[in-house]
Amino acid sequence: MINSFFKFTFFFAVAIFVQEVSGQDRNFTGRLPATQLNNASFYPRVNGGSLFVSSGSFVVFRTAEPLVPGTGGFIQIYRLDRVFGDIVLVSKVHGTNAPAPGHCYRPSISDDGNLVAFETAVDLLNGGDTNGLSDIYVRDLTFNTTKRVSIRDDGTEPNGSSNYPSISGGGSFVAFTSSASNLVPTGQDANGSKRDVFRAFVTAPHIPEIVSLNNDTPPAQSLLSHSYFTLGAGRAISDDGCKVVFVGSPCDWDDDPGDCAPGINCLCPQPDNDCAGCQTGDEVAQAYMRDLCLNPPRTFRVSRVFSNGSFAAGNRNSYTVAIDGRGDDIAFSTRAANLPGDTDFYEDIFQFRLLLGDPNEINGPNNNGLLRASRPLGGASSNGNSTAPSVSDGGAFVAFASAASNLVTGDTNARTDIFVTSVGDPYGGPDFKIVRYSMTMTSGTFGITLGEANGDSVNPDIGFFSAGGWAPGPAVVYESLATNLVAGDTNGLRDIF
């Protein structure tokens, strides 16, 4: 273990929403004392919390900085203990303390902080990996094991790369995308080498199964086009592993035969229904959630709006999607201009609220629980793109990155910043709040003065921190090129804040 006092630059934003006279909320920020790194750091992810471990106690990230000896200049995965300040190497060879002999990417951490999923093309982390492709591994920091989960239980090597792991909060499942066509039995992967979304058990037998399926019964069919989740969004799987969110471009299927609405590209319903004029390539990417614990499992589109007595799909692409630990709140980014309160074609963040685990019911009469999160307090449209949402457990807060300059007053830095919205009233009423997190803080005689970051901040993840002497509140980690968020930042590299 290496104490972060001398090895790691880390900035942890902990906010309490305090209503001021101006109507704008402010965030109080604490920083771990640390010297800066000489290599860039990326992809921070925070734990969701468990019975004995507070949310926000652990953060995982990747960097080529040699935080432990023998890492060989490779990009490695590390875990920071927020409470005690220790850093441990995650990307190790199975059963040893040897660092991975190659680059590792995109970590995802369980709620208790003991299990970390990541992707790597290294073939020497565990026996039998001979495909030379990117695979998904899970490191158990308690039992010193590193196991591949993107593999058939009969030992068949995947014939395509697997990427973007997202581990369930409970640590039982990992969702990931893969272009492999042989992770499931012959005939189940209908689109060949196109990307699909899979879910696998962390412990053997892993039993990988395709998540991105339509609702034909029996059997459900995989998309003929790509389905995926991408860099920058928060967790893609609920804590219990039942619900998985993803983005798909399905010209060949959907859950609602009413999708062929005037003015939008045709999204065909199930293959046994006809949708005149729909051709491959005419699809609009939509955000979906599949509930694997229903009997039978079902897929539901979330990038939709209730209008004139029926559901209409988003009329432009959706890009990134995330779900909270309970599986009741989903956030996604989209350029659609027909969703509630959105009349522009900037990429915006929407939050979709489900009722008590019943995906057939949508929360409330106002726009069926669909709330625009990337909006100014006055409700106007944003004037820039917003992306990479992350949802806190319970859905009370959504973090995202935005280039818009009108979400809060005084945004003049012309940079991408990190914002957090608090829905308050679930229907977007007067309790709606929005706060900019990527800001400098200067202590003075009359309190703390906030300033603007001088570089872009991206890729946020959100938890709820309430340990180590900090006041409870949303805990946000993110990447930034800004050099003025903490004193002495002179490396000119992307750091974790």
Most confident of 281-285, 358-362, 420-424, 454-458: 454-458
pLDDT of residue 104: 97
In DSSP terms, 451 is beta-bridged to 440
| Residues 361-405 pLDDT 10s | 433 334 457 888 998 887 788 999 999 999 988 888 899 999 999
The pLDDT of 58-83, averaged and rounded, is: 89
Domain of residue 191 covers 149-252+282-436
Asked if 122 and 101 count as a contact pair (C-beta separation under 8 A), the reply is yes
| Residues 143-155 pLDDT 10s | 999 999 999 888 8
Flag whether 464 is in a domain. Answer: no
Long-range CB pairs of 263-269, under 8 A, 24+ apart, other chains included: 263/315, 264/312, 264/313, 264/314, 264/315, 264/338, 265/315, 267/313
pLDDT of residue 262: 35
Q: How confident is the model at residue 213 (pLDDT cuts 50, 70, 90)?
A: confident
The pLDDT of 102-122, averaged and rounded, is: 96
pLDDT of residue 380: 83
Q: What is the CATH number of the domain that holds 295?
A: 2.120.10
C-alpha distance from residue 315 to each of 196, 333, 365, 369 (Å):
23, 13, 22, 18
Least confident of 126-135, 179-188, 367-376: 367-376
Asked if 485 and 418 count as a contact pair (C-beta separation under 8 A), the reply is no
The pLDDT of 443-449, averaged and rounded, is: 68
Most confident of 187-191, 270-274, 386-390: 386-390
Flag whether 84 is in a domain. Answer: no
Asked if 363 and 353 count as a contact pair (C-beta separation under 8 A), the reply is yes
**pLDDT over threshold 90, residue 55:** no
The pLDDT of 467-487, averaged and rounded, is: 75
Better pLDDT: 185 or 218? 185
Better pLDDT: 422 or 363? 422
302-304-310 Cα angle (round to 5): 125
pLDDT of residue 163: 95
Better pLDDT: 342 or 105? 105
How far is residue 167's CA from residue 115's CA, in Å, rounded to a whole number?
Answer: 8
Q: Which amino acid is at 494?
A: R
How far is residue 113's CA from residue 445's CA, in Å, rounded to a whole number?
Answer: 39
**pLDDT over threshold 70, residue 93:** yes
pLDDT of residue 309: 63
pLDDT of residue 463: 82
How far is residue 401's CA from residue 437's CA, in Å, rounded to a whole number?
Answer: 10
pLDDT of residue 472: 56
What spatial distance separates the first Cα and last Cα of the chain, rounded to whole Å? 21
**What are the φ/ψ torsions at residue 162 (nearest 5 degrees)?**
-120, 140
Flag whether 315 is in a domain. Answer: yes
The pLDDT of 214-233, averaged and rounded, is: 59
Which one-letter DSSP state was computed for residue 209?
E
pLDDT of residue 234: 83
Pick from 331, 411, 338: which is nearest to 374 by CA?
Answer: 331
Q: How confident is the model at residue 35 (pLDDT cuts 50, 70, 90)?
A: low
| Residues 2-12 pLDDT 10s | 433 223 334 44
Flag whether 64 is in a domain. Answer: no
pLDDT of residue 153: 86
pLDDT of residue 368: 57
pLDDT of residue 28: 40
pLDDT of residue 471: 47
How far is residue 329's CA from residue 398's CA, in Å, rounded to a whole number?
Answer: 10
Predicted model pTM: 0.86
Asked if 157 and 131 count as a contact pair (C-beta separation under 8 A), the reply is yes
**pLDDT over threshold 70, residue 157:** yes
Q: Which amino acid is at 491?
A: N
Flag whether 38 is in a domain. Answer: no
Better pLDDT: 336 or 416? 416
**pLDDT over threshold 90, residue 238:** yes
Q: How many CA atoms lie within 13 A of 287 on its CB side?
A: 31
The pLDDT of 124-136, averaged and rounded, is: 90
- Cβ burial 159-196 (10 Å sphere, 16+ → b, else e): ebbbbbbbbbbbbbbbbbbbbbbebbeeebbbbeebbb
**pLDDT over threshold 90, residue 78:** yes
How far is residue 388's CA from residue 249's CA, in Å, rounded to a whole number?
Answer: 19
Percent of the chain predicted with pLDDT > 90 = 38
pLDDT of residue 168: 96
**What are the φ/ψ torsions at residue 5 (nearest 5 degrees)?**
-60, -35
Average pLDDT of the residues of the chain? 77
Flag whether 169 is in a domain. Answer: yes
How far is residue 244's CA from residue 297's CA, in Å, rounded to a whole number?
Answer: 11
The total number of structural domains that make up the chain: 1
pLDDT of residue 422: 82
pLDDT of residue 283: 60
Flag whether 447 is in a domain. Answer: no
Count the neighbouring beta carbons within 10 Å of the beta carbon of residue 470: 18
**pLDDT over threshold 90, residue 444:** no
The label of the residue with tokens 């229907």 reads: 427
Better pLDDT: 14 or 175? 175
How far is residue 360's CA from residue 339's CA, in Å, rounded to a whole number?
Answer: 19
Flag whether 334 is in a domain. Answer: yes
Most confident of 31-35, 131-135, 325-329, 429-433: 131-135
- Cβ burial 319-346 (10 Å sphere, 16+ → b, else e): bbbbbbbbbbbbbbbbbbebbbebeeeb
What token pair was written down for 282? 């005419």
